[in-house]
């Protein structure tokens, strides 16, 4: 074994993450947990939100109180010009950091509209596609000149692409498309050292499913019984996997979709 096959421990210790991490939909839920974890890891976090400025400010406040750096910016991903509008809003909020390369981009924001195929209206179908699939595509496209060589793109998908749930068929299609985006984009951006991966959370305790899950002990018991790890998932369970993919240690992983469901229906 040559020296180059061994880790340089001093180098590992010195290698603290820096640069900017942009997280969409980061004012609550899994996005807030991702923002907070990346802030703790040393990134300057750009906390994107749609309209809840106070919640986004709260996330920024928690990151800065813990010694990190963060700022927030708003953009509605339902708008057709998402790519341009998103980065224009980012630029306005980033101040002198606006020209700094982006090291991590996490496409986390999404909506879920419940309904089997017979119940899914064209309007709901198209709206989900816009926010969950078209917006990440356009945001990444417009980000390409800003991404640092060696950057990380992480797309938040869903365990629903592996375990079928007929009642969220339209949502599942949007996440399947996000995974389909991940693979060719990883191939395309590989020469720049940029990795592109996706993470599939399982059902997690957030506002997204609070209407049927929060406080529903029967639903929670059923869900947990189907999981190898036998417990509910928390936003931090998912955030830690995203942070892993964002880390230097994940530099050799690209084009992958990582299941982070706690082993749902293995």
Q: Which is nearer to ligand NAD, 148 or 256 (CB)?
A: 256
Q: Which is nearer to ligand NAD, 83 or 159 (CB)?
A: 159
Q: Which is nearer to ligand NAD, 109 or 113 (CB)?
A: 109
Taking a C-beta distance cutoff of 8 angstroms, is the pair 81, 139 a contact? Answer: no
Q: Which is nearer to ligand NAD, 148 or 244 (CB)?
A: 244
Q: Which is nearer to ligand NAD, 151 or 156 (CB)?
A: 156
Q: Which is nearer to ligand NAD, 44 or 161 (CB)?
A: 161
- In order of 210, 212, 216, 261, the CA distances from 230 in angstroms are 20, 19, 16, 11
Residue 201 DSSP SS3: strand
Tell me how far the alpha carbon of residue 114 is from its chain's centroid: 21
Task: List the alpha helices (DSSP H) in the chain.
Answer: 9-14, 29-41, 53-65, 82-94, 122-129, 135-143, 169-189, 210-213, 217-225, 235-246
Binding site for ligand NAD (CB under 6 A): 25, 27-31, 49-50, 76-78, 108-111, 131, 156, 158-159, 201, 203-204, 206-209
Taking a C-beta distance cutoff of 8 angstroms, is the pair 224, 232 a contact? Answer: yes
Taking a C-beta distance cutoff of 8 angstroms, is the pair 61, 45 a contact? Answer: no
Residue nearest ligand NAD (C-beta atom): 29
Residues 6+ apart with CB under 8 A from 219: 212, 213
Tell me how far the alpha carbon of residue 51 is from its chain's centroid: 18
Cα atoms in the Cβ-side hemisphere of radius 13 Å centred on 208? 24
Q: Which residues are catalytic?
A: 171
CB atoms within 10 A of CB 79: 15
- Give me the residue label for tokens 């700022």: 71
CB atoms within 10 A of CB 240: 14
């Amino acid at each position: 074994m040559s020296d180059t096959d061994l880790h340089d421990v001093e180098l590992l210790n010195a290698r603290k993450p820096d640069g900017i991490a942009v997280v969409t939909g980061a004012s609550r839920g899994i996005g807030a947990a991702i923002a907070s974890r990346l802030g703790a890891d040393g990134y300057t976090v750009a906390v994107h939100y749609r309209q809840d400025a106070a919640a986004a400010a709260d996330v920024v406040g928690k990151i800065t109180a813990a010694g990190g750096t963060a700022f927030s910016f708003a953009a509605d991903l339902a708008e057709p010009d998402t790519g341009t509008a998103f980065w224009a809003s980012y630029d306005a909020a980033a101040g002198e950091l606006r020209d700094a390369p982006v090291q991590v981009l996490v496409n986390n924001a999404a909506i879920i509209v419940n309904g089997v195929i017979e119940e899914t209206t064209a309007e709901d179908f198209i709206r989900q596609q816009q926010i969950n699939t078209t917006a990440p595509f356009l945001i990444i496209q417009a980000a390409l000149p800003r991404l640092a060589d060696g950057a990380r793109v992480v797309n938040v998908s869903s365990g629903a692409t592996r375990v079928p749930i007929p009642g969220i068929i339209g949502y599942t299609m949007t996440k399947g498309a996000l995974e389909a985006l991940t693979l060719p984009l990883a191939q395309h951006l590989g020469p720049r050292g940029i990795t592109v991966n996706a993470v599939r959370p399982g059902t997690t305790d957030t506002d997204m499913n609070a209407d049927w899950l929060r406080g529903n002990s029967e639903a929670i018991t059923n869900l947990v019984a189907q999981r190898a790890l036998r417990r509910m998932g928390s936003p931090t369970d998912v955030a830690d996997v995203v942070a892993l993919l964002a880390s230097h240690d994940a530099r050799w992983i690209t084009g992958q979709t990582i299941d982070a469901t706690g082993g749902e229906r293995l």
